[in-house]
Amino acid sequence: MTDSDGGPDEGAAPDADAAPDTRDGDAPDLTLDAFYDALESAGRPLLTATELSRLLDCTQTEALAALEALAGSGRVESADVEADPTVWFPTDYKETADRERIVVFPGRRQVVVDAPSQFTRAQLSQFAHLEDANREHGYVYEVREEDVWAAPYDDFAGLERTMRQALGERNEALEEWVKSQWERARKFRLRSHEDGYTVLEARNADLLGNIAERELDEGQLRARISDTEAWVAEESVAAVKRALYEAGYPVLDTRHLDTGEALPLDLRVDLRDYQHEWVNRFVEKRSGILVGPPGSGKTVAAMGVMSAIEGETLILVPGRELAAQWKETILEHTSLADEQVGEYHGGKKEIRPVTVATYQTAGMDRHRHLFDDRKWGLIVYDEVHHIPSPIHRRSADLQAKHRLGLSATPIREDDKQKEIFTLVGPPIGTNWAALFDAGYVAEPEIEIRTVPWADDESANAYADAAGHERRQAAAENPAKIRETRAILRDHPGAKALIFVEYIAQGEAFAEALSIPFVSGEMPHARRRKLFDEFRNGPRDALVVSRVGDEGIDLPNAEIAVAASGLGGSRRQGAQRAGRTMRPVGKARMYVLATRGTEEEDFARSRTRHLQGKGIRVREREAETLDPGDRTGDDRTE
């Protein structure tokens, strides 16, 4: 780093460009220039000691000592942030033109942030919705009712602290509105009466008479117990919660339900500190949703919950591959025997103390009584964002003592995610950025790459099309095959998943790249064999349709290429990026979009949720390619 006259920066040590010396276990000799280089490599204006240790290839203790030594010169400062490690930044960062600027519009309940840091984005995601990530006009966040209702805090003071950290100051008008919504979400609660039935309790008589009794259907409340309490029909509990939520009054569920038969089990894997926190918070609340990035160990944490509760458990999943995966994981990591764990779906019909069933099967009338008749101590809703759909929501009527949802992305494009929190429970999660900083999960490097048309014929077909055909023409641009081949050649030997939205496109990729295409049309046995070969064998690439979007555990995937996607689905974008989020290694995702088409906007929309979680998303243009350019050896089976 130099002054404007080109001379050395005052205070910089001689040979400032030299690599830090970490020989013999000594702390690296960290100069200010080397620190700026590290910031540039990380792509953010602040660092933790853990991040610096990875960049300098030294221990976290050595990196911390180096930072403290540099701080002694007055050129670097540190700050402790809520639920995150200490962050370090240059002293003059506050005076630079590139620093983030935050403007709050309390009347519209919007926050506009120019050049937000990773930490700020992560904090805002705790109570606000990322509406737009237009780099030219800044990140636009909207604070909605459902965001406040679902904020993962036990008291308003915790939410208030996060708001002030994210916004940098107190905003009385916005805080007053947020507090009113926080209190609104606590005006009704369900509790268990000492005689065994369920009671709806209102904060005051007016709420019970003018809100609850007006909004609920006849028969859902059997009788009044007092001016503020009513007896709830047992079969209507879920319907009562849903109706009051839609009326703008989320219901706290504090019932003490039967746990059913006891099921002692030991967990054979050590939980991380944050997983212990998840388990403890869930056991205290008895319902909730674990929200964390893919690879953060939500399934293992769920088994930790099973071990803590020791009750018979029903696990609901989207598909049979995931059911088999759950059973294998439970048998591997707990003391349960094979005869204690069953699967219930189109291929198997086993009801055991721990039963893994598909949502679709559990919601069918001819099977429902099998699940209703058993007293489950715990119901686990995996990929819980499916709950609001017509087929899956019937399973939410199963109201066990403990209801646990799992999802990296409890968002839906129809904005019905609010139903998830009232039917299952509030979010119990962690700050994604904290797990990235601590090294528990590899933060993915995400790049939107715009691709030119392969030829005039493809461009003309797009121009002549309309509606869905137009979107499909952009998605199936043949130039994406060449760009994907180039990406694979840039990462030799890396395990890669190539996602497509259309069957014809998947078949074209498979033929051109000599890579198997896994779709819903493939028999289950063949599909499972290919996934097993990708996990455990020499197979290093698969083309996959939506069957690979969620639930399937492919822990060694290093590269994800989204050749086409479901419009602007934020959840799909997060799920596909999540295939590469694991504790070790570099995780990379490439989102391909045909240049000059609406696919570019779709690509930005699909990555918006990730940006809101603090993940950096970069954009670049692919080179204009001739058919013979950037070819190489195709991958083989």
**Which one is predicted more confidently, 40 or 489?**
489
pLDDT of residue 630: 43
Give per-residue burial for 64-97: e unless 16+ CB within 10 Å, then b: bbbbeebeeeebbeeeebebbbebbbbeeeeeee
pLDDT of residue 248: 86
Q: Do the Cβ atoms of 615 and 444 come closer than 8 Å? A: yes
- Retrieve residue 515's tokens: 């890579």
Q: Phi first, then psi: what are they for 590, rounded to 5°?
A: -115, 125
Whole-angstrom distance, CA of residue 306 vs CA of residue 297: 14
Instruction: Give the mean model confidence (pLDDT) for residues 500-504.
Output: 88
Tens-place pLDDT, residues 199-221: 999 999 999 999 999 999 999 99
pLDDT of residue 253: 80
pLDDT of residue 99: 57
Instruction: Give the mean model confidence (pLDDT) for residues 9-30.
Output: 42
Collect all residues with Cβ–Cβ distance below 8 Å to 174 and sequence separation of at least 6: 104, 106, 109, 143, 163
pLDDT of 572 > 90? The answer is no
Neighbours of 38 (CB within 10 A): 19
Instruction: Give the mean model confidence (pLDDT) for residues 416-438.
Output: 66
Q: Do the Cβ atoms of 340 and 353 come closer than 8 Å? A: yes
pLDDT of residue 368: 65
**Which one is predicted more confidently, 81 or 335?**
335
DSSP assignment string, 566-627: STT-HHHHHHHHHTT--SSS-EEEEEEEETTSTHHHHHHHHTHHHHHTT--EEEEEPPP--T
Query: Which is nearest to 519 in space by CA: 505, 532, 540, 533?
Result: 505
DSSP assignment string, 318-358: SSHHHHHHHHHHHHHHBS--GGGEEEESSS-B---SEEEEE
Instruction: Give the mean model confidence (pLDDT) for residues 438-443.
Output: 62
CATH of segment(s) 442-621 = 3.40.50.300
Tens-place pLDDT, residues 265-274: 999 999 988 8
- Mean residue pLDDT across the chain: 77
pLDDT of 576 > 50? The answer is no
Neighbours of 22 (CB within 10 A): 18
Q: How many residues does the chain have?
A: 637
Q: Which residue ranges does the chain devote to CATH 3.40.50.300?
A: 273-432, 442-621
**Which one is predicted more confidently, 26 or 446?**
446
- Retrieve residue 449's tokens: 């790459």
CATH topology of domain 273-432: Rossmann fold (3.40.50)
Measured CA to CA in angstroms, residue 61 lies from 27, 64, 70, 79, 434 at distances of 8, 5, 14, 17, 18
pLDDT of residue 467: 81
pTM, two decimal places: 0.57
Q: Do the Cβ atoms of 481 and 451 come closer than 8 Å? A: no
The identity of residue 260, as a single letter, is G
Q: Which residue ranges does the chain devote to CATH 1.10.10.10?
A: 23-95
Min mean pLDDT across 116-120, 179-183, 328-332 is at: 116-120
Q: Phi first, then psi: what are they for 78, rounded to 5°?
A: -130, 160
- Per 3-state DSSP, the chain is made up of helix, strand and coil in percentages (nearest 5) of 40, 20, 40
Query: Which is nearest to 449 in space by CA: 494, 482, 492, 415?
Result: 482
Whole-angstrom distance, CA of residue 492 vs CA of residue 513: 14
**Which one is predicted more confidently, 350 or 397?**
350
Whole-angstrom distance, CA of residue 418 vs CA of residue 150: 8
Element (H, E) at 105: strand 101-105
Whole-angstrom distance, CA of residue 368 vs CA of residue 375: 13
Instruction: Give the mean model confidence (pLDDT) for residues 517-533.
Output: 84
Tens-place pLDDT, residues 274-306: 888 889 888 887 888 887 777 778 899 999 999
- CATH for the 23-95 domain, from 1.10.10.10, 3.40.190.10, 1.10.3470.10, 1.10.20.10: 1.10.10.10
